[in-house]
Structure 1
Amino acid sequence: MPDGAKSIAELTVKGTIVKKLPRKLEVLEGENAAFCVEVEHEDMEVHWFKDGLKLHETHHTILKSFGKTHMLVFVNVSHQDSGVVTFVAGRSTTTSRLKVKATRHCPPICPGNIKMDVDRPNSALLTWSPAPNSQTTTRSMFVVERQEVGSLEWQRCFASESATSAEVSGDSMPCEGDYRFRVCSINKYGRSGHVEFPNVVHLGKHWRRIQLMYALCKTRNQVTQGEEAHFSIELSIPMAGTWFLNSSQLQNGGRFSVRQSDARHTLVIQETRAAEDGAEITFIANGVRDSALLNVRPILDQYTLVVDRGETIVLYCELSHRFADVSWFKDGEELRAMDGLNIQSDANMRRVVIHEAEEGHSGVYTCKTAQDAIEFKVEVAVQFSPPPVMIVEPKDDIVVDSIISQDVHLQCELSRSNGRVRWSKDGHDVEEGDNIQLVAEGPYRRLTVLSCTAEDSGEYVSLSLMYLWILDVSSWIVPEVQLTHTASERLELCCEISKADATVVWYRDGLEVEETSNLVLEVDGAKRRLVIPVPTPDDTGEYVCDTEDDSVAFQVTITGRSV
């Protein structure tokens, strides 16, 4: 009515759809978006649409029906999945707007349950627990720091991704003194606060315990027959020790050189023998025992083969038994048959055939049986060097300005279509991912950033010749506002958007608002305002300024008295 009075009625048209879709569904990137509707009868012909296109079941889109219930699930959604989803059953339709939001990343939470056990000689056992609601999808690290009483400086003394305890000994301290400790969590998004362990502990190097500082190598020490094998171990204090070879005590002399320098012990076995393959080397001192295995490889027959590029390489050996198992290796890695490389077996003969030799085929090839081996050293001669690859376009560095959610294309043109280009960002190699595409089309090389974010800003370099793109992705911060206002005083709600021509819709308590004599919607460049000239307590509620990609909420409370 002209005086501002109004009456509202709700109209419900009943159709074949009993349970409709929600008006709006918001999910985070990487999650699943599920839609569910219920129709009046079973065995009805139904269809799902997204942005007007009919949907069919794929690995990303799941369509299921259970009697009267029909479901649509988008698996592992990304920003490109945002849009309008429509369900059609006969003449009835229901729609929902799907909005995929970027995942918000936060620094880790402080560890808890901090304890320090000092009831042990010259050491302290520090224990803690991860925060109960800490994120598990992002790798984080626990860092323990120490501080000498009287000093203001903290020093890192322990770090681990999984351990929740650390034993700190006096031997690891720079000097004798009273120390306190603290722990925090660190991930790629930041650092949590520090939590200090209770009490202070006295530690120092003058209390020494016998312990291994550098243990023997636990893997097999490989040497070729006739070469020297070296073993060493270092203790925390100088003390006598004994070396053993398969339980036989070793003395200094002959093929064995046994030395001690302060707390370091060394053993050198000269002219190793094939019979010593698999031998156990053991060191024993007062309360200390450690061991390692010695692997002696036999001397291999080796043949050298030099071929030109494009020629055929044939490597073969003859076995004493036609059914013997053979494995081929190149530079220590096992070979598998592939295009251009065949592995053949013919009675007692075993062959590797490479039809067109390339420079990458150079290396040491080994044919191994259970008891023997033979090596082939292959050198592929390079007949000519192609001209260097030049970047024709662009000729100068480029500055690219973009805004969040837009696609960014960086392109260069090469002087040769088969030229190789490596892309880097801020000094680090760029690899293809969910939002990075690397495309080669003839002489053109293109890097595309899909739905860019502020984190994509930086210096991009095409590394054939140095040409630089500086990408600046603009972003905006959307606050959440709580506002208490007095009745009868003019109320203005304002938000500024990144694009002046973007479409904005205002909602109050979930319902779209329309202009009246007491509610005005204003547009001023990039600013959008909702104005209530004479507010009353009935105007209290949540007002939302909504764009296609973002929204901001105002929680408004209208009081009936002056402040």
Structure 2
Amino acid sequence: EVLEGENAVFCVEVENDDAEIHWFKDGLKLHETHQTILKSFGKTHILVFVNVAHRDSGVVTFVAGRSKTSSRLKVKATKHCPPICPVGVKMDVDRPNSTVLTWVPAANTQTSTRSIFVVERQEAGSQEWEKCFTSENAASAEITSDSVPCEGDYRFRVCCINKYGRSGHVEFPKAVHLGEELWSRIVHVLDRRVVEGEDAHFSIELSTPMVATWFLNSAQLQHGGRYSVQQSQTQHSLAIRETSATEDAAEVTFIANGVRDSAVLRVKRSPLSDLDGNKKSYISEEIHLQCELSRTSGKVRWFKDGQEVEEGDNTQLICEGPYRRLTILSGSVEDNGEYVCETDGDSVFFQLSVKEPPAKFVSPSEPELELTRLASERLQLSCEISQPDAPVRWYRDGLEVEEGQNLILEVDGARRRLVIPITTVDDTGEYVCDTDDDSYIRVNLRPFKSHSFLFNDFIPVSRLGAEVVWRLNGKEVEESSDVTITEDGLIHRLTIHCPTPEDSGKYTCDAVDDKIDFQVKVSGNETISALEMCFPLIGHPQRGTRRLGRVLPGCRRRQHQIQGYGGR
């Protein structure tokens, strides 16, 4: 027995696979078609009727040689039932003025029968359900405000329908508000005309968030430069900085999806002339806010942060011809704020900022110094600032220094000191004492070693590859068995092996751009093992350089006097 629409399968196994076989149904021989499948696998033979109908009922016979076997096929009609309800219904209510409904078809829904999903809506307060969406294949539906007759709260349900009936309804869990009209309103933040040079502000609020564009006289505006375009959820704003008279009567247009609104920008010249719109002053200083009227008889009113200003012990309101002045005799932090001078609907704004006077350096008077110290000497960098309680920071080559065993930071009233008890070559660098007001003093420190005629005490030239010529009393010295001239990186040496009194004289090491002299005097009766001189140019070329002559081990200082000094 096979249900209608299913496949009927017959399988026979024979003893010998060389026998001739045939399939029959109701005495008629079967041949392979798209609904009848005949297959053989060795001794196994198969017959399949695909998607059987009631008419396929009958007797099926298999013949192999002289043998045969039969079976009766009975096709039973299926029980036709209406479809099963969809499952897994969900509702997305986070979309602006719309919702998305989704569901999952029942797992055992018959695929052989065409089914249709139907979505219905019900307005709050009504008992009637109305069809609003149908689909044969889709398992989701987007319901927008355009599909409802009026604004209101709506509920939804879904069912499945085929030719045998309708499934039960599955109701979605929430209600959604639809039909709300998109609305907007451009608001000019300044409740008056914009005075030339001021910023013009426009804002607009939508009922739902969406991308929008601003235009000025049909030209699209981009964020940047004079234009600031901002959006925060449903709020949109436009700021036009430093308006000019040429923009008077310009049309400002806002366009979004389904929304368009416009406003007119009005820019005019004020009869009030602002002489100084932004004022900065220090505590205890006298402050003047002044503007000029187009008419000497005009009357003005002064406001601070929206409150009218009246004369008092510390505040004077002065009228001199076309000028109007507000004077604060001794400024304080409490005087900070926005001041407005208003006349006949026109206004001039002043932004006043009063703060502590900056901490400036009183001494030393030179903003930049350059110091040179012998290694192992004590170094003290000292400066005095105008505000005794102002904090300062010390830096060395751009990095803030910290106190340690060999670096002390001292505070003595308004004086600040940096002390290095024992300087070394490693302390070389630029030292900066900095305040919060960016006042500073720079000190370039150059500690150097105390040079004497010691072995391995060299000073290099300032760059590699310098051409150096050695001269004795103006005559170029050439290498020989007694004189050696060597170059080792930045070090240039002239070595006199076994010097004698004849080697005395003025030695010059000439590096084209600079040179150094050595005055050498050799005296005594015994032979000196060697005298070596090296070129010591370093640092600032215009300040000259120091000497360097030295005696190699073996010289006898008591019998020999070797003198050396350097200079331009």
Verify same fold: TM over 0.5.
no
Rg (Cα) greater in structure: 2
TM-score (norm 2): 0.31
